[in-house]
């Protein structure tokens, strides 16, 4: 059978690699055939286990090469993607005109518009058979960010030490509590010695 995997337990010979007719069989089917051979009373020497393992690795390698070859056929049409991405940018720009420019730094004001923009860029990249994100799409999105959000830098918090009086108090309280607890433990342990 050329389309399916037809393998009988009697045909299983682990001393040689599988024939080209059985090369497309999965390792699970080969292991099932091996199990059937055990039930039929066919014994396998210890080196047979090694051969079975190597056979499973070989079949797995063939399957991996076949799957990788299928992925290589997809070619990204970058020029088509670069033609279509500005449509997403124009749409986002029109939607952002509805938002007051003073609120452009508040994501809750335009999150729906930004989500639509992101979905649009994903769709256009997929239409051009490109992965998303990719360097070209990221460059385009970065340009949109510069256009709308360049003034939205996060406010930096400058940490300062508290005044000296507060700092000394914050340091001395745990130190004095620690000394007091040690003194209490020593006093209680001496007192329990007296009671005994």
The pLDDT assigned to 160 comes to 87
Tell me the two tokens of residue 44: 């396998």
pLDDT at 9: 45
Three-state helix/strand/coil letters over the chain:
CCCCCCCCHHHCCCCCCCCHHHCCCCHHHHHHHHHHHHHCCCCCCHHHHHHHHHHHHHHHHHHHHHHHHHHHCCCCCHHHHHHHHHHHHHHHHHHHCCCCHHHCCCHHHHHHHHHHHHHHHHHHHHHCCCCCCCHHHHHHHHHHHHHHHCCCCCCCCCCCCCCHHHHHHHHHHHHHHHHHHHHHHHHHHHHHHHHC
Q: What is the largest CA-CA distance in the chain?
A: 96
pLDDT of residue 158: 79
Omega into 160 within 30° of 0, i.e. cis? Answer: no
Q: Which domains does the chain have, with CATH numbers?
A: 9-72 (no CATH), 78-149 (1.10.150.510)
Which residues of the chain are modeled with pLDDT < 70?
1-46, 65-73, 154, 193-196
C-alpha–C-alpha distance, residues 77 and 87, integer Å: 17
pLDDT score of 36: 55
- Backbone φ and ψ of 43, nearest 5°: -95, 155
Q: Give pairs for 117-121: CB < 8 Å, separation 24+.
A: 117/88, 117/89, 117/91, 117/92, 117/144, 120/87, 120/88, 120/91, 120/92, 121/85, 121/88
> Among residues 62, 54, 49, 77, which one has the least CA distance to residue 22?
62
Query: What's the pLDDT score for residue 34?
Result: 55
């Amino acid at each position: 059978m050329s389309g399916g995997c037809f393998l009988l337990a009697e045909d299983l010979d682990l001393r040689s690699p599988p024939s080209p007719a059985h090369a497309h069989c999965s390792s699970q089917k080969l292991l099932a055939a091996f199990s059937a051979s055990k039930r039929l009373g066919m014994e396998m020497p210890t080196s047979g286990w090694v051969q079975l393992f190597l056979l499973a690795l070989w079949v797995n390698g063939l399957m991996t090469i076949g799957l990788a070859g299928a992925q290589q056929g997809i070619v990204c049409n970058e020029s088509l993607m670069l033609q279509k991405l500005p449509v997403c940018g124009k749409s986002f720009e029109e939607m952002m005109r509805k938002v007051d420019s003073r609120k452009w730094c508040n994501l809750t004001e335009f999150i729906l518009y930004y989500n639509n923009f992101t979905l649009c860029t994903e769709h256009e990249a997929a239409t051009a058979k490109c992965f998303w994100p990719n360097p070209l799409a990221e460059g385009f999105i970065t340009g949109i960010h510069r256009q709308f959000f360049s003034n939205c830098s996060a406010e930096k918090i400058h940490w300062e030490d508290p005044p000296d009086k507060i700092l000394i108090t914050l340091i001395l309280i745990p130190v004095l509590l620690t000394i007091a607890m040690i003194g209490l433990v020593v006093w209680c342990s001496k007192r329990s010695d007296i009671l005994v």
